[in-house]
Amino acid sequence: MLEEDDLVNNLVPAIREQLESKETPFVKKTMDRLLKAEVEEGEAEMMMALCLADESNRMFIDKREFDLKRYQELLELLPELPEG
């Protein structure tokens, strides 16, 4: 079974794809904001992956579709991390 840290690490490539995608400009905006706040790039990717993991987990628990709005809201809260 994957540990939580492994799960988050496995989502970093998805974050990198989202950074390049025209469909997820809010991800790039979040990265730029975190870098301006002097968060290192690797740490910022991990924070963002944690948000993606949190929303993916809620989707599984609540048996619902991915909530893009909630994901965006979690990213907007960074560098505060989601609890849970």
Please indicate, yes or no, if residue 21 is contained in any of the structural domains: yes
1: Cβ contacts below 8 Å, ≥ 6 apart:
none
Please indicate, yes or no, if residue 84 is contained in any of the structural domains: no
Q: How many angstroms separate the CA atoms of 23 and 40, rounded?
A: 24
pTM over 0.85: yes
Please indicate, yes or no, if residue 53 is contained in any of the structural domains: yes
* Band (4; pLDDT cuts 50, 70, 90): low
Per-residue pLDDT, averaged over 22-45, amounts to 97
Which position has the higher pLDDT, 8 or 30?
30
- Owning domain of residue 60: 4-77
Please indicate, yes or no, if residue 33 is contained in any of the structural domains: yes
44: Cβ contacts below 8 Å, ≥ 6 apart:
30, 31, 34, 35, 78
Please indicate, yes or no, if residue 71 is contained in any of the structural domains: yes
47: Cβ contacts below 8 Å, ≥ 6 apart:
34, 39, 78, 79, 81
Q: Is the pLDDT of residue 40 over 80?
A: yes
Per-residue pLDDT, averaged over 35-44, amounts to 96
